[in-house]
Structure 1
């Protein structure tokens, strides 16, 4: 099943390559902010919110702290949950500035040390830390978001109750290190377009004949 999934997901690589390139061009703080904004919304709304932040000079820790909190909320409104996200971004900015922390210096540490250090920041868990490590430090890690976890569980790659680290380990066992960024982005797209949380499109899924959760068998 893992090999078949990899074959299917590879067909999305060309579509998501521009996203990988965009992530790599971002500053580390920008990518951190974008990851927080992306929770419970689509990437189109993330891009609109990021553009708002950029126009207002709010894509640096110092810029965030100089701004009126209401201005930050206004910029994030298009992405939903804007008050919660604004508070998280501001809290992270405060921690970075008050401690003199350099995110880029953190990313130069060994992978395990960098991950632990990043997760000391407010609202930064495994996924957010791994996204920074994967796209800004070149770490061979597959960040696991809700779409990736859902697809993995529906396909029976892991048990329904599997946690983040178990899902990550199973996927990394099959995906070559040099493909993991694209695999991460492509599997998210597959989860959004085909293996959706509600009303999955099993009838057009190329994995339906192998998937134990499929509602449409050929």
Structure 2
């Protein structure tokens, strides 16, 4: 692993400006296969300890990323911050007063802009009503009991488990939080560290139970990168032979037939 690993900016953590710093621990002898996989990913990509993002901005960023790629959600986030991020009032106070059609136009590149603009405005109103200020929400996310914060975040319109976990990880700096997106859901079941039919929450529970808390943050972002580079949905690298995938020996390849070169979802349904 490089001495100063630089996380690509396309990850939801926000790259070098996202509060990530190089972790100070060395991967120990893995106690589980899931931990061995995370250690291998950390050696290949980065070992970072997260935290420090503004909680509300992180929430907005993650809402914008729902059902789309970072390639299109990042410009929407940048446009929103450029237009509304330097006001005298804090960001949620500013956004709760923005007409929805105006905000929708600003974030149009993220797709589902009418739905997402409603979510963002509703979230801004709820945070101001419940916490009084952006700073108070930050403090709550970073300092209150993690499970209580997660449950409270899930009460906000538009916030699902992945969004809540991203806020806990990237803003709260919480250990033991492993957000599950499409890449993580696919890879964990394909590799055999979660049950083939596990849903997103069951995958999260399986990984968090098997991976030390301090390794969950970089494990999440590194697994996403691995999914982009090697373990794609339609043509994983292992179809090109064992030498093509660096984690071949640690993977059960559930749903993959290397002889016929066919790929099915681990739960049994063929991917389309």
| TMscore range, shorter length | 0.7 to 0.9
Equivalence for 1:158: 194
The normalised TM-score by structure 1 is 0.84
Segment of structure 1 superposing worse, 66-75 or 164-173:
164-173
Give the C-alpha shift of residue 36 in structure 1: 0.8
Matched position secondary structure for 1:147? helix
Structure with more relative contact order (C-alpha pairs < 8 Å, separation 6 or more)? 1
Give the C-alpha shift of residue 28 in structure 1: 0.6
Equivalence for 1:10: 42
- 2:130 equivalent among 99, 104, 107: 99
Question: Which structure: larger Rg?
Answer: 2
Task: Name the CA distance, whole Å, in 1 between partners of 2:179 and 2:257.
Answer: 28
Q: Once the two structures are superposed, what CA deviation does each residue of 1:102-152 show, in whole Å capped at 9, x if it has no partner?
A: 422432211121111111111212221121112222222111122111101
Matched position secondary structure for 1:173? helix
CA distance 1:76–1:168, shift in 2 (3 Å): same
Give the C-alpha shift of residue 3 in structure 1: 4.4
Unaligned runs of 5+ in 1: none
Superposed counterparts of 1:22-171, under 5 Å: 24-57=51-84, 60-101=91-132, 102-107=136-141, 108-140=143-175, 141-171=177-207
Segment of structure 1 superposing worse, 95-104 or 176-185:
95-104
Task: Name the CA distance, whole Å, in 2 between partners of 1:46 and 1:12.
Answer: 26
Matched position secondary structure for 1:10? helix
Return the structure number with greater helix share. Answer: 1
Matched position secondary structure for 1:160? coil
The normalised TM-score by structure 2 is 0.69
Matched position secondary structure for 2:178? coil
Unaligned runs of 5+ in 2: 1-32, 260-272
Equivalence for 2:246: 206
Residues 106 and 117 of structure 1 are in contact (CA less than 8 Å); yes or no, is this contact kept in structure 2?
no
Task: Name the CA distance, whole Å, in 2 between partners of 1:182 and 1:7.
Answer: 10
Which portions of structure 1, spanning 4 or more consecutive aligned residues, are displaced by more than 6 angstroms? none
Residues 13 and 183 of structure 1 are in contact (CA less than 8 Å); yes or no, is this contact kept in structure 2?
no
Give the C-alpha shift of residue 46 in structure 1: 2.4
Give the paired residue count. 212
RMSD: 2.4
Residues 143 and 168 of structure 1 are in contact (CA less than 8 Å); yes or no, is this contact kept in structure 2?
yes
Residues 106 and 118 of structure 1 are in contact (CA less than 8 Å); yes or no, is this contact kept in structure 2?
no
